[in-house]
Structure 1
Amino acid sequence: MVGTPADADAGGVPALGPRQLGVYFALMEAVSLLQHQVEQQLRAEGDLSYVQFQLLARLASAGGDLTMTQLADGVVYSRSGLTYQAGLLEKAELITRRPSPDDERSTLVAITEAGLALVGRVLPGHVEVTRGLLFDSLSDDDLDHLGAIMTRVRDHMRAQPPRSAVPRKRKPSG
């Protein structure tokens, strides 16, 4: 994996250079450290997983119903995993699910008052952790640069078809 970009591994793919590898590992470590602290805060203050918080926060900010597909694409989570998480949130009466009146294949999801209250309760701690670990270390210029870079990277990644558009693999019948 390490080498000059002209080097290729056994699969013919150019190796990452030392600078690229360093940036990759720094990014992954920073994301892991931030996500770990956020997850601890969410568990302690709301008994929520990070994915559950993402779902509730997206629904709270949507101002209305979202489809399960919109949620899955928005939080980058598997369909089956999202269905399971939505079931837990529905059982806790934090969301509701219902068939779409416009598309029988779609399920609409909405946040309940209890869900909104929970988001309101955990959000200050979430902001505190995020600010303390990420934003406090950045100048205004750093923030502008990081925002521009991460937006460009995200948009490049999102240019691929959404995961919901990828056909499911069928198990061989036997």
Structure 2
Amino acid sequence: MSDAPTALTPTQLGAYFALTEVSALLRPAVEKQLRDVGRLSYVQFQLLARLGDTADGRQRMTDLADGVVYSRSGLTYQAQLLEQRGLVTRSPSPDDERSTVVAITDAGREVLADVFPGHIGTVQGLLFAPISDDDANDLARVLGRISEHLRANPPRSASRRSAKGASA
């Protein structure tokens, strides 16, 4: 006999529906802003933003894929599109020839600078305007805890790989 729950509580069901509804309503607005201003997909923006947030503007492809929770092959394709636009460069890792390092270019930083004001405005206006800073702190704390739980047994696209066995 299994101890698995057979139903969600009304509170759990309400929270689940609210989460999926917010995600479904927010994502298209964010994606439209990124497309309109930077000609970027959501994944391309995440890739550029993560690179732009590193000290040297570089990261291994496998680490990027793990961070954005996207398939390695899909992210490779997105990085290729960004490279064709001159927004990133890709090169073999100096530490492991099986790995690929992606680096943001000056043109990539310019695109980020162009999209960030509208991106921040969209997220602020749609997600954070109706809640207090305390609510946002609670939201970050709760979602962070859920993210940690999900990453404990993630799908392959979200699993962190060791540097020893990683490749891109």
Normalised TM-score (structure 1): 0.84
Alpha-carbon displacement from aligned partner over 1:21-75 (angstroms, at most 9, x marks no partner): 2111110110121111000101111111101000000000012210010000010
Q: Secondary structure at the match of 2:101?
A: strand
Report how many aligned residue pairs link the two structures. 158
Q: Give the Cα separation in 2 of the matches to 1:95 and 1:140.
A: 35
Q: Secondary structure at the match of 1:109?
A: strand
- Map residues 1-174 of structure 1 onto 2, 5 A cutoff: 14-64=6-56, 65-160=58-153, 163=156
Unmatched tracts of structure 2, length 5 or more: 162-168
Distance 1:20 1:85, change over 3 A: same
Runs of 4+ residues over 6 Å off in structure 1? none
Cα root mean square deviation, aligned: 2.1
Residue 140 of structure 1, CA deviation: 2.2
Unmatched tracts of structure 1, length 5 or more: 1-7, 168-174
Alpha-carbon displacement from aligned partner over 1:117-168 (angstroms, at most 9, x marks no partner): 000000000000000001111112212211211111111112225725599x
Alpha-carbon displacement from aligned partner over 1:53-110 (angstroms, at most 9, x marks no partner): 0000000001221001000001000111101101100011100000011111110000
CA radius of gyration, larger in: 1
Amino-acid identity (%): 58
CA contact (8 A) 1:73 1:162 kept: no
Residue 15 of structure 1, CA deviation: 2.3
